[in-house]
Structure 1
Amino acid sequence: MIRVLVADDESLVRAGVRAILSTDPAIDVVAEAACGDEAVELARAHRPHVAVLDIRMPVRDGIEAAAEIRRTVLGTAVVMLTTFGQDDYILRALGSGAMGFLIKSGEPEELIAGVRAVADGAAYLSPKVAARVVAHLAAGAGPLAGRRAAARGRVDALTAREREVLALLAAGLSNRQIGRRLRVTEGTVKAHVSSILARLGVDNRAAAAVVAHEAGLLAEHL
């Protein structure tokens, strides 16, 4: 059973998220929070497998709450909920240790898939979120072609196997699922992921997934 904490300052949103997640018999929403501070307290009390956090919340926002949860509640993965127009927040959240990014107006299936993915140790980027991040990075640092070329250069420096692993990681697969797809052990996949993060110069799987999307890697391998 995947234990989930839901945090959003709007009660209607919390109810909606709970209702969607409750359709999956493998997911149990164990707590709800209306602000970042409460989310941290409830995460410490319930130790959920996944915390689904709204980015904008009072007192302590979702990004700050995510960082504190990741620092003090080992074993709890974080999924961030965002809306269009919050691109700067998404980029900040990449450094908070969040493993998943979802659009509030997205399909219900994406929410369930995202929670399942991060609970299994994978990164999950809604395709719309990935596209927004890539576009925002491009707008802030030269032409899109230049950004893509830079990301492509980083990806090309990886081995062929590492590029395969990165593409599957960016698609939301866990280490176990990647191992099955490539017919290698989970330990081998973990070693590849560690090497990929180091060689790309990123701190987590979500940030690596952004590089993969920016480089257009998924279209080549999936």
Structure 2
Amino acid sequence: MTSKTRVLLADDHAVLRAGIRLLLNSQPEFDVVGEAASGIDALALSEQIQPDLILLDLSMPGLGGLDALPVLRRSAPNARILILTMHDDPQYLRKALKSGAAGYVLKKAADVELLSAMRAVMRDEVYVHPSMTRSLLEDLIPQGESFNELDLWKGLSDREQEVLRLVALGHTSAEIAAKLNLSVKTIETYRARGMEKLGLTNRAALVRFALRNELISPE
């Protein structure tokens, strides 16, 4: 029998911890073995129980997540640390990854991303919230060179590209659903996921992106 991933929750919001605990304990591969409401508590618990995975909030009283991160890496050296935060500032993301975090998930997307992110980091992968990947790509580009937006486009699935191209051309979700023989809900899922990966928030921004990168032709 495969052993469960032992998880430590570190967040100062009791209601959020309760919700995550309920979610994780309903999954066959996860087991919440400890909870901490502050960075200091997280350090003490991590050293005591040696979890496999730590879900760490950045904003906690006393010792915050960013300050606790490098110490946690020493107190529980075998644990993967996944940041779960409300902060979508790229500076927080960069600092967290440089300090040893294995992933970065925004709380606003936790209901759909958290389990996937946890499974990814337990496979020794790095997980970053899709809308924040652009800032990491920009860090890899030598100073003076321009960022190629097409790299983001190429990171979309074929279906996401197809749906977004039709959206940019002015088609509604219902029209696209009929054209591709899919449900409207499925189309809206592809649309939302693709827009998030591109870091775009509305159709106007998508049209500008598509025109700028010659994905559609101006009429």
User: CA separation in 1, counterparts of 2:29 and 2:6?
Assistant: 9
User: CA separation in 2, counterparts of 1:58 and 1:107?
Assistant: 22
| CA distances 1:152-191 after superposition (whole Å, capped 9, x unpaired) | 8xxxxxxxxxxxxxx9xxxxxxxxxxxxxxxxxxxxxxxx
The partner residue of 1:110 within 105, 109, 113 is 113
Which fold has the larger relative contact order, with Cα–Cα distance below 8 Å and residues 6 or more apart in sequence?
1
- The corresponding residue for 1:89 is 92
Task: Tell me the amino acid that sits aligned with residue 104 of structure 2.
Answer: F
Q: Does 1:44 align with 2:47?
A: yes
Task: Tell me the amino acid that sits aligned with residue 57 of structure 1.
Answer: M
User: CA separation in 2, counterparts of 1:137 and 1:82?
Assistant: 21
Q: Does 1:28 align with 2:31?
A: yes
Counterparts of 1:127-142 in structure 2 under 5 Å? 127-131=130-134, 133-134=135-136
Cα offset, 1:137, TM superposition: 5.9
Percent identity at matched positions?
Answer: 32
User: CA separation in 1, counterparts of 2:138 and 2:90?
Assistant: 7
Cα offset, 1:123, TM superposition: 1.2
Q: How many positions carry a matched residue from both structures?
A: 149
Please report the TM-score for the alignment, with normalisation by the length of structure 1. Answer: 0.59
**Equivalent residue of 1:98, what SS?**
coil
User: CA separation in 1, counterparts of 2:98 and 2:72?
Assistant: 13
- The corresponding residue for 1:208 is none
Contact 1:21–1:111 (8 Å) recurs in 2: no
Structure 2 unpaired stretches of 5+: 156-197, 199-219
User: CA separation in 2, counterparts of 1:134 and 1:97?
Assistant: 15
User: CA separation in 1, counterparts of 2:132 and 2:58?
Assistant: 13
Structure 1 unpaired stretches of 5+: 153-166, 168-212, 214-222
- The corresponding residue for 2:8 is 5
- The corresponding residue for 2:124 is 121
Cα offset, 1:58, TM superposition: 1.4
Cα offset, 1:64, TM superposition: 1.8
Report the CA distance shift for 1:23/1:128 in structure 2 as closer, same or farther (over 3 A).
farther
- Greater Rg by CA: 2
Contact 1:24–1:112 (8 Å) recurs in 2: no
Please report the TM-score for the alignment, with normalisation by the length of structure 2. Answer: 0.59
CA RMSD of aligned residues (A): 3.0
Compare the two structures and name the one with the higher helix fraction: 1
**Equivalent residue of 2:81, what SS?**
strand
